[in-house]
């Protein structure tokens, strides 16, 4: 790199330059979970499990796995605290007990979700097949086995209804958030209150509102689009609240930098604030959508439901996945209940995909989304540089 | 209140020798800036009172003074950034080439384009590439240079800010991925790219290493030909090296900030009239 020649023998390997062997740079682990720690943990768990077993089943004749687990965990915390305090002192013990509590809470949440999904998979997986996903329920009698017919009409209906709801609700939500966070003024407080109230609106009320206004007053009739409007009412406040949160994280100094360069307010919002918050906004949208994909209540009174495929959301009753689950689960026929479980599984998978996308977007660096959306221009830039 | 222009330049000492500046395209002409009886309030609290200062065209004026005496506030009043802060009020006039920038027919966006600003903390746009950061000011005013013109402009501005050699291979990386000092120099390049007639710099070197600091100081001297520079600094040597004129701000315990003394840098440092000035520049307080 430099022109001065240094005799190689006197040169000591410098940090960060690789040194003679790459292995000389071994990364050190800075988290220490020693054998003692592991022993204390395992010992406390074993001790509490055995102690509670003795008390629970031998001395008191209590029963029930759930009670046993809860008591074991409580006793574990106590033993864990005492053991750690004895070995490492009061501060370290408190620290570890709090960490153990937090871990247990997290594990509890994950277990609850895993159980729901596992239960659904166990009941629903055997029906999910290509035929199930590509056929509708037209002409299928409930005396036929569950393998007859499918849910394609519900999938298509859900995608169309939610898609249209997003087209209406999402832009309105983002623009409202921009108003709250960037424009402001005297009515900000009022708008924010209304949005908050809207996000607390029971889904069935959103459905009934559309029902009363569109279907009974304007004689618009049941159709997918009516459901979309009800869902849009639910998407809007969620998107607004999350997006406003995301916009408020954009540092004030960036707005000032933009203004100091002579940008008018709309330019600042469009070219600086939104691009900076873009990944967050995309996440807000996906979460807002995922939130309503599973709503059945607003659809009951707006799309009505239909066993046959209806790909036109603007005419005639339509089906939707959550509505299908709701209807078929309330049936007294075993085959219908089976269908409901499988449709539920498909619905959960759909929501999972949306959440996964949200996670991927939120982990992205700012600007990545824009580049993904404009791949051709990006490639041209790459070629130039 | 106003100093006679022309008195100082004759006696002006040449600053530290500067390598011959590359011939720069002179697109703008420097404008003189005059603050006339400027006061400022934050939520009703008076923080600077009746400050008058003439910042001569094509010269570097340094604002010095202890922390909290209102230097940044004063600087922000000079390009209408003060009014952006909620609860901020002001009095007085600021004349750019004799025209009051707070006059009813003046648009803040236009004024800010002519009076650019570099902030105390680096604030590049994190979602834009290094190149787009440099071009952002032009984009905001609807101009989009293309092709070679664009590349030349980016290179020229980054070179002036002393950053080009470090980032020339990384023009397409995001502005937020540079180091703090590099970010500050990127902000300087960004401010210069709009070819302002006045450049306000609020402690531009407080995050920089000595060699970048030197590069920025050289840039200030170079661009003074075509841009009037007003710089806030806590570094007395820097004030001496770069500025033609100096103004010392001081604020009392519960009193708002005022200018204690102003004049040619040479006078302020070698021959101060006020005892507080001599105390401050020799580091005896503040
Ligand atoms: N946004 C604000 N809201 C309320 N008060 C403010 C605000 N900004 C500055 N002030 C007050 O105005 C006074 C002057 O602040 P200013 O930032 O101009 O000082 P400064 O001279 O730039 O200091 P430093 O050298 O530390 O940057 C201070 O007393 C400060 O508390
Ligand atoms: Mg300051």
Reported as type and span, the H/E element at residue B261 is: strand B257-264
Q: Identify the residue whose tokens are 């409901």.
A: A340
Residue A378 lies in a domain: no
CB of B47 shorter than 6 A to ligand 1: yes
Domain-terminating residue out of A104, A124, A144: A124
Residues of chain B with Cβ-Cβ distance to A254 below 8 Å are: 123, 125-126
**pLDDT at position B272:** 87
Backbone angles phi, psi at A348, to 5 degrees: -60, -40
Q: Are residues A331 and A203 in the same domain?
A: yes
Q: Are residues A68 and A174 in the same domain?
A: no
Enter the tokens of residue A211. 């029902």
Q: pLDDT tens across A357-374, in order?
A: 888 877 776 555 555 555
Residue-level pLDDT at B3: 39
Give the domain CATH number at A295: 1.10.3720.10
Tell whether A249 is covered by a domain: yes
Are the Cβ atoms of B125 and A262 closer than 8 angstroms?
no
Q: A109 and A59 in one domain?
A: yes
> Considering only CA atoms, which of A270, A271, A273 is closest in space to residue B136?
A271
Average pLDDT for A372-380: 49
- Please report whether residue A96 resides in a domain: yes
Shortest CA distance to A281 belongs to which of A362, A168, A199, A183?
A362
Domain identity same for A158 and A120:
no
Which pLDDT value is given to residue B11? 40
Nearest-atom index, ligand 1, CA of B74:
18
Distances (CA, A) of A351 to A158, A170, A279, A286, A291: 12, 17, 19, 10, 8
Number of A/B CB contacts below 8 angstroms equals: 82
Instruction: For ligand 1, say whether the CB of B70 is within 6 Å of any of its atoms.
Output: yes
Residue A29 lies in a domain: no
Structure confidence at residue B9 (pLDDT):
41
- Regarding whether A160 and A261 lie in a shared domain, the answer is yes
The protein residue whose alpha carbon is closest to atom 14 in ligand 1 is B70
Which residue of A lies nearest to B85 if distances are taken between CA atoms? A256
Residues of A in contact with B81 (CB under 8 A): 256, 259-260
- Domain ends where: A88, A106, A124? A124
- Residue range A66-86, pLDDT digits in tens: 888 888 999 999 999 999 999
Answer yes or no: is A175 within a domain.
Answer: yes
Structure tokens given for A282: 């995309």
Q: How many domains does chain A have?
A: 2
User: Both A227 and A171 in a single domain?
Assistant: yes
The residue with tokens 């002036």 is: B160
**How far, rounded to the nearest angstrom, does the alpha carbon of residue A26 sit from its chain's CA centroid?**
38
Strand partners, A304: A318
Q: Calculate how far, in angstroms, residue A366's C-alpha sits from the geometric centre of ligand 1.
A: 31
The residue among A385 and A356 whose pLDDT is bigger is A356
A221 and A110, same structural domain?
Answer: no
Do A310 and A207 fall within a single domain? yes
Give, for B267, the enclosing helix (H) or strand (E): helix B265-270
Res A334 pLDDT > 90 = no
CB of residue B67 inside a 6 A radius of ligand 1: yes
Is residue A128 very low, low, confident or very high in pLDDT (cuts 50, 70, 90)? confident
Q: Which of A11-20, A246-255, A325-334, B72-81 has the lowest mean pLDDT?
A: A11-20
ipTM of the complex: 0.83
Which residue segment(s) compose the domain that A330 sits in?
152-371
Residue A15: inside a domain:
no
Mean pLDDT is lowest, of A33-47, A242-256, B22-36, B159-173, for B22-36
What's the CA dihedral at B128, B134, B137, B140 to 10 degrees?
-40
- Claim to verify: residue A181 and residue A43 sit in the same structural domain: no
Q: Is residue A161 part of a domain?
A: yes
Is residue B38 within 8 A of residue B92, CB to CB? The reply is yes
Least confident of A32-46, A54-68, B189-203, B213-227: A54-68
The answer to whether residues A157 and A117 belong to one domain is no
Consecutive H or E run containing A84: helix A65-88
Indicate whether residue B73 lines ligand 1 (CB < 6 A): yes
Whether residues A228 and A347 fall in one domain? yes
The tens digit of pLDDT for each residue in A164-211 reads: 999 999 999 999 999 999 888 889 999 999 999 999 999 999 999 999
pLDDT of residue A241: 93
CA distance A260 to B108: 9
A238 and A89 assigned to the same domain: no
3-state secondary structure of B157: helix
Does the structure show a pLDDT above 60 at A251?
yes
Q: Is the pLDDT of residue B199 over 80?
A: yes
Across chain B, mean pLDDT equals 86
pLDDT at position B280 over 80: yes
CA within 13 Å, CB half, B46: 15
CA angle, residues B193, B29, B90, in degrees to nearest 5: 80
Q: Contact B125/A257, CB-based, under 8 Å?
A: yes
Query: What is this structure's pTM?
Result: 0.77
Measured by CA distance, the residue closest to atom 16 of ligand 1 is B70
CB B193 within 8 A of CB B137: yes
């Amino acid at each position: 790199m430099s022109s001065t020649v240094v005799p190689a023998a006197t040169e000591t390997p410098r940090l960060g330059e690789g040194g003679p062997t790459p292995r000389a740079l071994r990364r050190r682990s800075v988290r220490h979970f020693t054998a003692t720690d592991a022993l204390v943990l395992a010992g406390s768990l074993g001790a509490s499990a055995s102690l509670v077993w003795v008390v629970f089943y031998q001395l008191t004749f209590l029963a029930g796995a759930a009670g046993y687990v809860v008591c074991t965990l409580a006793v574990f915390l106590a033993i864990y605290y005492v053991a750690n305090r004895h070995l490492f002192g009061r501060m370290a013990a408190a620290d570890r007990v709090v960490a153990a509590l937090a871990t247990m809470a997290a594990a509890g949440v994950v277990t609850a979700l895993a159980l729901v999904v596992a239960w659904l998979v166990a009941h629903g997986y055997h029906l999910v097949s290509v035929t199930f996903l590509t056929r509708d329920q037209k002409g299928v009698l409930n005396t036929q086995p569950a393998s007859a017919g499918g849910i394609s009409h519900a999938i298509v209906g859900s995608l169309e209804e939610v898609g249209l709801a997003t087209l209406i609700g999402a832009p309105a939500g983002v623009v409202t958030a921009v108003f709250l966070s960037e424009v402001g003024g005297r009515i900000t407080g009022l708008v924010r209150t209304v949005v908050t109230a809207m996000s607390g609106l029971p889904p069935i009320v959103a459905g009934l509102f559309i029902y009363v206004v569109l279907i009974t007053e304007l004689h618009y009739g049941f159709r997918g689009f009516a459901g979309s409007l009800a869902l849009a009412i639910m998407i809007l406040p969620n998107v607004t609240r999350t997006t406003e949160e995301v916009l408020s994280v954009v540092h004030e100094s960036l707005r000032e930098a933009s203004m100091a360069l002579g940008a008018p307010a709309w330019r600042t919002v469009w070219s600086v604030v939104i691009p900076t918050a873009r990944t967050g906004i995309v996440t807000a949208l996906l979460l807002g959508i995922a939130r309503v994909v599973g709503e059945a209540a607003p659809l009951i009174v707006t799309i009505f439901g239909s066993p046959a495929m209806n790909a036109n959301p603007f005419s005639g009753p339509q089906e939707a996945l959550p509505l299908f689950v709701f209807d078929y689960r309330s049936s007294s026929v075993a085959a219908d209940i089976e269908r409901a479980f499988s449709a539920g599984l498909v619905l959960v998978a759909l929501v999972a995909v949306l959440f996964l996308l949200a996670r991927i977007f939120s982990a992205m660096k700012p600007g990545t989304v824009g580049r993904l959306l404009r791949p051709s221009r990006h490639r041209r830039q790459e070629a130039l540089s | 209140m106003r100093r006679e222009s022309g008195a100082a330049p004759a006696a002006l000492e040449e600053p530290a020798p500067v390598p011959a500046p590359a011939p720069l395209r002179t697109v703008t002409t420097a404008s003189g800036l005059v603050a006339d009886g400027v006061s400022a309030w934050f939520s009703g609290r008076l923080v600077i009172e009746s400050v008058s200062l003439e910042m001569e065209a094509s010269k570097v004026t340094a604002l010095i003074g202890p922390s909290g005496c209102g230097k940044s506030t004063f600087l922000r009043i000079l390009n209408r950034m003060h009014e952006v802060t909620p609860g901020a009020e002001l009095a007085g006039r600021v004349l750019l080439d004799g025209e009051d920038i707070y006059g009813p027919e003046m648009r803040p966006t236009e004024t800010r384009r002519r009076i650019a600003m570099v902030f105390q903390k680096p604030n590049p746009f994190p979602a834009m590439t290094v190149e787009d950061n440099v071009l952002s000011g032009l984009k905001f005013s609807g101009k989009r240079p293309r092709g070679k013109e664009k590349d030349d402009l980016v290179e020229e501005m980054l070179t002036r800010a002393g950053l080009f050699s470090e980032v020339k291979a990384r023009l397409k990386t995001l502005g937020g991925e540079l180091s703090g000092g590099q970010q500050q120099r990127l902000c300087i390049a960004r401010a210069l790219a709009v070819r302002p007639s006045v450049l306000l710099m609020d402690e531009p070197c407080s995050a920089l290493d000595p060699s970048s600091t030197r590069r920025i100081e050289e840039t200030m001297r170079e661009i003074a030909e075509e841009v009037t520079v007003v710089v806030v600094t806590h570094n007395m040597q820097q004030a001496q090296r770069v500025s033609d004129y100096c103004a010392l701000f001081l604020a009392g315990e519960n009193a708002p900030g005022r200018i204690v003394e102003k004049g040619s840098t040479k006078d302020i440092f070698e021959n101060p009239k006020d005892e507080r000035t001599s105390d401050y520049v020799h580091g005896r307080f503040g």
